[in-house]
Amino acid sequence: MPARAASSGGPPIVVDKFGGSVLRRPDDIAAAVEVVAGQQASGLRPVVVVSAFEGVTDAILASASVLLLERTYGPRLSALEPPASVVIGPEGGFTPDEVAAAERANLVLAGLGPRILRSETVAVAAAAVILSRTGDFA
């Protein structure tokens, strides 16, 4: 079930997380899109958090603006302008090659602080930071 957040002055926000257990096949993407489209059609403002299929990291990096790393690396997410998209890594973190690919794609390397969180916790924490910075999460 998606999490709902009160918004300030706009339609209610709903946060959806689609992970690898939901997105196993390409057809699953269409189903996720239908869920989000249905939410938009009903007047909600979806914020979508997605885990990657294996082998699509480069495509995700090409469309992202921030790569969240374990512990603090560079600026904290809360210090940045709210990004349109954030890449969250797997349990155990990104490989050096993945970090290098993010740097080549000109992503901002940022963190949430000195702690290491589980992937699903990072997704919720990142959404909370971004929503707080946009004034949509009180």
- The range of the structural domain enclosing residue 74 comes to 3-134
Express each pLDDT in 114-124 by its tens digit: 888 887 788 88
Separation between Cα atoms, residue 56 and residue 54, nearest integer Å:
6
Q: What is the CATH number of the domain that holds 52?
A: 3.40.1280
pLDDT surpasses 50 at 23: yes
Express each pLDDT in 24-63 by its tens digit: 777 888 888 899 899 999 999 888 877 666 556 667 777 7
> Do the beta carbons of residue 70 and residue 114 sit within 8 Å?
no
Smallest CA-to-CA distance from 110 within 60, 67, 57, 78 is with 67
pLDDT surpasses 50 at 1: no
Separation between Cα atoms, residue 10 and residue 23, nearest integer Å:
30
Query: What pLDDT is attached to residue 72?
Result: 62
Query: What pLDDT is attached to residue 22?
Result: 74
In the chain, the number of structural domains is 1
Mean pLDDT of the chain, nearest integer: 80
Torsion sign, CA atoms 57, 20, 77, 122: negative
